Amino acid sequence: MRWEGNRESSNVEDRRGEGGGGGGGGMIGGRSIGIGTVVIALIGWGVFGINPLTTIGMLSGGGQPQVQQQQGPAKAPPADDSQAKFVSTVLASTEDVWTKIFQQGGAQYREPKLVLFRGAVPTACGTGQSAMGPFYCPGDQKVYLDMGFFDTMSRQLGAPGDFARAYVVAHEVGHHVQTLLGTTEKVDSMRGRVSQRDQNALSVRLELQADCYAGVWANHSQQAKNWLDQSDIESAINAAQSIGDDKLQREQTGTVRPDGFTHGSSAQRVRWFSTGLKTGSVQSCDTFNTQSL
């Protein structure tokens, strides 16, 4: 991925040197949407004997956003931090792509902030933990990222490569797009009104749509920058496949329970990312009005 020399976003907050905490553990008030939620849930089951449905419910619980702990002004990442520069460059590209798409639809795109942290971080959704993986909080419209997750992708999930990492950022920005379009609110309004199984099914559709939106971004960014080659595309598809619910469940428990899926199977995640990548169309990402995921 030829990302060096491109514009960097000014919407990156570096809070890696600050102490995390405030408000207890996990995402309890408000709702966090993250690419790694199911990862911590399955680890909890495999290591601590915790039912993953309980963990997911705690991490994704409904309700009003919590009041965020007061923090000082955020710093920009150091100029010599190559990983932060990479994240800032990818975020800038998502800003360019989604601003144009929203303008074409007669709307205005509000750029999200991306917060770099280590360990734990206070958010409007509660306290975020590194073990959750990257996540998005609708309450403050921020993406949260501990870049140690990139090492986890390479070493534990078998998903190395710059564009695999870019896909992760684009997926979380996809959740921001869902918030702006009102999709997240509609799904949250069903919480407590449907069964746990149906709630999980809605979560799957929400996550697969974010995968598709990541593909839409990849399509438009490639047209604008021509910064990808086939190996980059393959690395992103590999990342989507590596974090499918079925793969993670099988690795952690030895069995697969589709009714416990919250993010979608490997095949589904690859399909919807590829759909967005191929079409570049937001309309092609309607995961809520299709019977076949």
Q: Per-residue pLDDT tens for 46-57?
A: 222 323 333 333
CA pair distance 38, 45, nearest whole angstrom? 11
What's the confidence (pLDDT) of residue 35? 58
CA distances to 45, 58, 125 from 25, rounded to whole Å, are 17, 10, 11
What's the confidence (pLDDT) of residue 207? 94
Contact by Cβ (8 Å): 275, 285: yes
**How far, rounded to the nearest angstrom, does the alpha carbon of residue 164 sit from its chain's CA centroid?**
12
What's the confidence (pLDDT) of residue 95? 98
- The SS3 of residue 226 is coil
Contact by Cβ (8 Å): 115, 136: no
What's the confidence (pLDDT) of residue 286? 97
Per-residue pLDDT tens for 230-252?
999 998 888 888 888 888 888 88
In this prediction, the residues of the chain whose per-residue pLDDT falls under 50 are 21-30, 36-68, 70
CA 214, 115, 162, 204 dihedral sign is negative
CA pair distance 31, 233, nearest whole angstrom? 31
Task: Please list, in sequence order, all residues whose beta carbon lies within 8 angstroms of the beta carbon of residue 14, skipping any fewer than 6 positions away.
Answer: 74, 75, 76, 77, 78, 84, 116
